[in-house]
Amino acid sequence: MRHIKDPWAMSDRLPGTFRASAFIFRPYPGSPIFNELVQQGYDPVAMQTYRDVDLTAHGADEAMRQRDEFNFTTGQQFGTVARDDLNQMLAGISHE
């Protein structure tokens, strides 16, 4: 969150514009992290099975769901942040 909000704050007081987007992490085939996750036991097919991210239950406007073609997920948990917490943060960013 800091990597988005800090530049936003700087852009408020500096000339020019700044745009940032946040997405749920998804490893891409052939990347070092993808290969590492396969070695850890993650299913490579499941890591490439994408679906839309629906943040409407967390307060995001339904119209925002289709706005960003890059916001998709495998539905898998790769990190330590609970999915509900992550979705809440992403919904908050989409409003800002």
pLDDT mean values, one per 10 residues, the chain (96 residues):
81 78 83 95 92 70 58 81 82 75
User: What pLDDT sits at residue 37?
Assistant: 95
Backbone φ and ψ for 32, nearest 5 degrees, come out as -55, -40
Spatial distance between the Cα atoms of 22 and 36, rounded to a whole number of angstroms: 23
User: What pLDDT sits at residue 64?
Assistant: 61
Which residues fall within 8 angstroms of residue 76, CB to CB, at 6 or more apart? Answer: 42, 46, 47
Backbone φ and ψ for 83, nearest 5 degrees, come out as -55, -40
Predicted TM-score (pTM) of this structure: 0.64
H helices present in the chain, as ranges: 2-13, 32-39, 62-65, 83-95
Question: Which H or E element spans position 68?
Answer: none
